[in-house]
Amino acid sequence: MHHTTDNRPALLLAMGPGIADRLLTERHRTRLAALARTDPYLVADDLAAPPAPVAAALAEARILLTCWGAPPLTADVLDAAPRLRAVVHAAGSVKHHITDACWERGIAVTSAAAANALPVAEYTLAAILFAGKEVLRSARRYAELRTAPEWLSETDRTGNYRRTVGLIGASRIGRRVIELLRPFDFEVLLYDPYVSGTEAASLGVEQVSLDALCSRSSVVSVHAPQLPETHRMLGARQLALMPTGATLVNTARGSLVDEPALLAELLSGRLHAVLDVTDPELPPSESPLYDLPNVLLTPHIAGSLGNELHRMADRALDEVERFAAGVPFADPVIPAALHHSA
């Protein structure tokens, strides 16, 4: 009688209801089953009081594959997962489910934050280019006139040639935006207290103070993490420094901007904004943001959506393959870095 040894690591999917069906195609599930011992259709959304099949899979799992809505990995959950060695997160931030207990037990963690950064940076690039071309104003003016405007007299300030763009935060997204801006004729300023002038120069940007960035930039784009020290970092004083007609782009978190101060600037018509995030996340139904002609408000769509989720799944399965092969993760989460990252 011949015995075969299955060396594939045991894996359990853990994420919010319905997420797995959007994240994983049949191609992903087939690849996952080849890489790990798993039921690619068994998904845990509760690990504190799991049903019997999930409890059994958790007890054997060496890897958890997580995504949005993953349940917190508390000490009690980890006690029920004695073989667990790694968490592969098929999304960005791990702060919602990775606890101190994970680090204390030496569990390796990786995330697909780099993959999720790409669509956010693409959205930002589009917002910057459209801001320079005054697309919102031009479209509204065209709809009002229903005939050709006096383009030469009405577009003196329009255009992207040698515009100054200010980026707040050299995060993964901020750095990708820098890359995407390189083919264009922009001067790019950067404010990030964790980046040296030498590193900024190597990125091809000018390191400046936050006040200088606001006062010099036609477009200010926010890419800093949500931390206690970044709460309302763009306040009334910084917004007042922005030139008349400048555009604020926020794809980070609404709490980084003093929204009442921003609203005052927007209601006056002095500034424009492209806001994918607000504070609160869902503006109240009476908020002027929905109707202001100088605001493009979108419902947190800059990050991975639709088929972009499959990019995150691909990155995550690449990391599962590395773990199965005994190779270090390509994109590990470093605990010490979490205090100044998303």
Q: Which active-site residues does the annotation give? A: 253, 281, 300
Residue 198, C-beta contacts closer than 8 angstroms, at least 6 positions apart: none
Retrieve residue 214's tokens. 């606001």
Q: Buried b / exposed e across 86-108, counting CB within 10 Å, b at 16+?
A: bbbbbbbbbeebbbebbeebebb
Q: How far, in Å, CA of 6 to CA of 281, rounded? A: 47
Q: Report yes or no: 310 and 20 within 8 Å, Cβ to Cβ.
A: no
Handedness of CA 215, 266, 258, 130 (dihedral sign): negative
Residue type, 171: S
Q: How far, in Å, CA of 260 to CA of 92, rounded? A: 29
E-assigned strand segments in 138-209: 163-168, 186-191, 206-207
Pairing of strands 219-222, 247-250: parallel
DSSP character string of 213-260 = HHHH-SEEEE-----GGGTT-B-HHHHHHSPTT-EEEE-S-GGGB-HH
Please report how many Cα atoms fall inside a 13 Å half-sphere around the Cα of residue 41, on the Cβ side.
1
Residue with tokens 């926020």: 250
